[in-house]
Amino acid sequence: MPKSPTKRRPATVAALTDSAQALFLERGFHAASISDIVQRSGLTRGAFYSNWPDKEHLFLTLYDRHTERLLAELDEAAATLGEAADPLEGLLDHVAGSSRRERAWFVLSMEFTLHAARHPEIAKALAACEERLVAGLAALLADLLARGGRQPALPAADLARVVMALSEGLNAHALTHPDAVTATGDLAKRTLPPVLRALSEPAPRVGSAG
């Protein structure tokens, strides 16, 4: 019996997004066409257009999928740290270990960001995706700081943006300084903890006078 559309759609979306991500990473966003994506997935253009109006909206689906995976990995890593003396440094060990994969995604996301910057409607949609990442990272950072008896000294979302900006800057540096890839990872581990300490403050003790 043929599958109903509701049962078939998740598999179709997965096949198309997997194909698109592989092609985008291999060739870049602009060089990979919709025809290339559907050909690699073994599906049709009709299957593509039944899920997205264009290649840009497919990329936004990939961005959300990447955000979900990244936050899930960070949450899992943070959970394994238990009552570590410095859970933040422990989490950075995990981040450094996945830096090569994240750097490939960084190249793709920067290409798309430049494309979106020239198209206001796409930029607005990308910003909404980015805010979901900011929110998840902000919650994670607030939790890690709380384990050490601290809290953000500015809105947690702004703290997350600072961390993202520093990480993206280091990734950009590594693109043109390949001999510094390892040093860049070490630099993140050396600089992020003091940055977070400088942008955080002791949390009020429970029951303390206001």
Whole-structure pTM value:
0.85
Q: Is the pLDDT of residue 6 over 50?
A: no
**Closest to 156 measured CA to CA, from 95, 204, 99, 201:** 201
Written as six digits, the tokens of 123 are: 């930029």
> How remote is the C-alpha of 151 from its chain's centroid?
23
Query: Sign of the CA dihedral 87, 90, 92, 98?
Result: negative
CA angle at 132 for the pair 125 and 92, rounded to the nearest 5°: 130
Write the pLDDT tens digit of every residue in 179-207: 765 555 677 777 888 888 899 999 887 66
Query: What's the rounded Cα separation, in Å, for the pair 171 and 193?
Result: 18
